[in-house]
A and B are shown apart, each in its own frame.
Chain A
Amino acid sequence: MGLLSKKDAKLITDPLADNNPITIQVLGICSALAITAELKASLVMGIAVLFVLSVGNVVISLMRNIIPSKIRIIVQLIVVAALVIIVDQVLKAFAFELSKTLSVFIGLIITNCIIMGRFEAFALANKPWQSFLDGIGNALGYAIILVIVGFFRELLGSGTLFGIPVLGDPIEMTGVYGLGYENNGFMLMPPMALIIVGLIIWVQRSRNKDLIED
């Protein structure tokens, strides 16, 4: 990455693993549970957050010197809500099909604490370019976990990936279903997402002992 200095590159790579927003910073859990029953939804949510977080970070960073500290929470929330609502309206007017797919996520994006969390922790104290990179990095780290959880939940819960059957047909009893395999409908329930994230944390911290809590 010749474009980025070493420090800037770290802003992107750190949140992918060692400072992951979900497994380390504990941000954005609710949405990670709500929409990961399907791989496609996980991916769409990841991309939407990537957009909102990077743009929002830049906006907040540009405003960081003029925001009164007493009302900064309101300002941050209103900026992100206005951003999301405007994008939603524009999509509804010019890309209606796309907006139908995305409209489910609008509430989840505004209430997503990963966005507020990064505004508070980073964008309020850093320059726009760094904030932009931080937004990209954190959104990617978030998306990675979402996709992993979505992959396992959809595969084990419905036997499909992106809606395409990969394990055979459960009604016609072909593929692995012919061997007596059955879909575990429980994987579709939100509690299983928590347990999968717990297992991801287990794997991640076994590989990097520095992350282990006391």
Chain B
Amino acid sequence: MIEHLELFFKSIFVDNMVFAVFLGMCSYLAVSKKVATAVGLGAAVIFVLAITVPLNWLLDQYLLQPGALAWADGSANGEGFSGMDLGFLSFIMFIATIATMVQLVEIVVEKFSPSLYNSLGIFLPLIAVNCAILGGSLFMQSREIETFGLAVNYGVSSGIGWFLAILAIAAIREKIRYSNVPAPLRGLGITFIITGLMGIGFLSFGGMLTGGEDETPSPEPTAQVEKIQTEDAKELAENTKIAE
């Protein structure tokens, strides 16, 4: 439970897709003129991330990782299928999943809920090129998210992080229309600069929740080491064949 909570807050604030790792910037900047459209795109991003991250997690676990193919022929320890490393395919697999899901979602929504389709409209196909989506899957892989539940959590929460970011900038942009911004900076220019400032603000989350388990000071380091020493070293001493 606690790991779910930690991952949830970490993906929304500490590792915010927009302000901390700067992914999905293009649609973030291009579609944030109005709050209403920003909400539509944000919701679509949450939805697609929530589906593609767990799907790609399954692909990664049972197809791509080294040793992941062990289920195919029941082999273990690097023989037969389990020795194969299809890691070089991960980019293309992830992208195919994302593009397929986006296209599928588009077709399904169009068929069963034309009103929702109209309100999302052009934003759905745009999501496929949103690098926050692929970034979500790649982070899931490189950070070694451990369970399916955590993968769902990660997809949803990083989507929420992106949603909050685009909502915030859209609200600011609506307000700033009434401010006296120098003409050449109006629109895109000032949005870049505000995003930069918000990114600096989000740096302050950086110290939170990072590397928690490594930072816990082991109260009795000697005792801990003794244990490792006695257990393993005894075994080592017994069967030792070290040529020294």
Residues of A within 8 A of B (CB): 23-24, 26-30, 33-34, 70-71, 73-74, 77-78, 81-82, 84-85, 89, 106-107, 110-113, 116-117, 189-195, 197-199, 201-206, 209, 211-214
Contact A198 B134 (CB under 8 A): no
Beyond A73-B103, A89-B88, A198-B185, 12 additional pairs, beta carbon < 8 A: A29-B22, A70-B107, A74-B96, A74-B100, A85-B88, A110-B134, A111-B23, A190-B199, A191-B200, A201-B184, A203-B184, A213-B186
Contacts of A81 in B (CB 8 A): 91-92, 95
Contact A202 B128 (CB under 8 A): no
Contact A77 B22 (CB under 8 A): no
Contacts of B92 in A (CB 8 A): 78, 81-82, 85
Contact A30 B203 (CB under 8 A): no
Contacts of B197 in A (CB 8 A): 191, 195
Contacts of B198 in A (CB 8 A): 191
Contact A77 B128 (CB under 8 A): yes
Q: How far is the CB of B123 from chain A (nearest CB, A)?
A: 13
Contact B128 A73 (CB under 8 A): yes
Q: How far is the CB of A213 from chain B (nearest CB, A)?
A: 3
Contacts of A206 in B (CB 8 A): 184
Contact A112 B131 (CB under 8 A): yes
B150 within 8 A of partner (CB):
no
C-alpha spacing A214/B183, complex, angstroms: 8
Contact A202 B199 (CB under 8 A): no
A-B contact pairs, 15 of them (CB 8 A): A29-B29, A70-B103, A73-B125, A74-B99, A78-B95, A107-B138, A110-B134, A113-B26, A191-B197, A193-B196, A195-B193, A197-B192, A202-B189, A209-B184, A213-B186
| Interface residues as binary, B22-34 with A (CB distance below 8 Å gives 1, 0 otherwise) | 1111110110000
CB-CB nearest 6 A-B residue pairs: A213-B187, A191-B199, A205-B184, A198-B192, A194-B196, A198-B193
Contacting A191 at CB < 8 Å: which of B184, B188, B203?
A: B203
Q: How far is the CB of B182 from chain A (nearest CB, A)?
A: 7
B121 within 8 A of partner (CB):
no
CB interface residues, B 91-113, toward A, < 8 Å: 91-92, 95-96, 98-100, 102-103, 107
C-alpha spacing A211/B186, complex, angstroms: 10
Contacts of A117 in B (CB 8 A): 26, 129
Contacting B102 at CB < 8 Å: which of A73, A112, A192?
A: A73
Contact A202 B30 (CB under 8 A): no
Give the interface size class of chain B: 35 or more
C-alpha spacing A189/B197, complex, angstroms: 11
Contacts of B199 in A (CB 8 A): 189-191, 194
C-alpha spacing A156/B102, complex, angstroms: 42
Contacting B131 at CB < 8 Å: which of A70, A106, A113?
A: A113
C-alpha spacing A141/B26, complex, angstroms: 16
Contacts of B26 in A (CB 8 A): 26-30, 113, 117
Contacts of A113 in B (CB 8 A): 26-27, 129-131
Contact B100 A190 (CB under 8 A): no
B190 within 8 A of partner (CB):
yes
| Interface residues as binary, B204-215 with A (CB distance below 8 Å gives 1, 0 otherwise) | 000000000000
Contact B128 A71 (CB under 8 A): no
Q: How far is the CB of B8 from chain A (nearest CB, A)?
A: 24
B40 within 8 A of partner (CB):
no
Contacts of A107 in B (CB 8 A): 91, 138
Contact B190 A198 (CB under 8 A): yes
C-alpha spacing A112/B135, complex, angstroms: 11
Q: How far is the CB of B179 from chain A (nearest CB, A)?
A: 14
B11 within 8 A of partner (CB):
no
Q: Given A30-B23, A33-B25, is A116 in contact with B203 using a C-beta cutoff of 8 Å?
A: no
Contact B195 A212 (CB under 8 A): no
Contact B185 A205 (CB under 8 A): yes
C-alpha spacing A33/B199, complex, angstroms: 12
C-alpha spacing A77/B95, complex, angstroms: 7
C-alpha spacing A73/B96, complex, angstroms: 9
CB closest residue in chain B, given A107: B138
